[in-house]
């Protein structure tokens, strides 16, 4: 089995420190494992310093999974926004048609002049509120 150099021992020490910063090791465990890693002469000795810790590829997969989850949440948010605003457009069009028909049949009145714009503003407010992203 080949001997390892300072670079490998330093890399192992950095990875152990990262595990400590992630809360997987206590200070005492870190000290013990660093001693093993920094005095190691072979890969098998370095591997002992990482016993019962998640390997680096698991962390990368975990990070990739959280990126995919964040991307999926973004896609769902965009779909929700599009659906709400398409519904708003359909309701706005129906309100406009109803307003025009009401004016043609009954003439312009105070009720028509206030009711339809108020309904449209209410629908717009609901749509705007529904599509705001919670921070």
Highest averaged pLDDT of the listed ranges 52-56, 59-63, 78-82: 78-82
Given a cut of 90, whether residue 134 has pLDDT beyond it is no
Q: Tell me what the mean pLDDT of segment 32-49 comes to.
A: 89
Rounded Cα distance, 48 and 39, in Å? 12
Q: Quote the pLDDT of residue 54.
A: 74
pTM score, whole prediction = 0.49
Q: DSSP class of residue 50?
A: T
pLDDT level of residue 62 (50, 70, 90 thresholds) = low
């Amino acid at each position: 089995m080949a001997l390892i150099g300072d670079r490998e021992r330093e890399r192992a020490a950095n990875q152990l420190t990262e595990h400590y910063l992630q809360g997987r090791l206590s200070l005492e465990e870190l000290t013990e494992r660093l001693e093993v890693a920094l005095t190691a002469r072979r890969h098998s000795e370095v591997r002992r310093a990482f016993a019962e810790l998640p390997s680096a590829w698991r962390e990368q997969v975990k990070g990739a999974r959280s990126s995919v989850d964040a991307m999926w949440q973004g896609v769902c948010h965009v779909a929700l926004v599009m659906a709400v605003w398409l519904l708003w457009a359909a309701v706005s069009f129906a309100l406009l048609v109803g307003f025009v028909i009401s004016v043609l049949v009954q003439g312009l009145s105070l009720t028509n002049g206030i009711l339809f714009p108020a309904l449209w503003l209410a629908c717009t407010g609901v749509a705007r509120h529904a599509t705001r992203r919670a921070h």
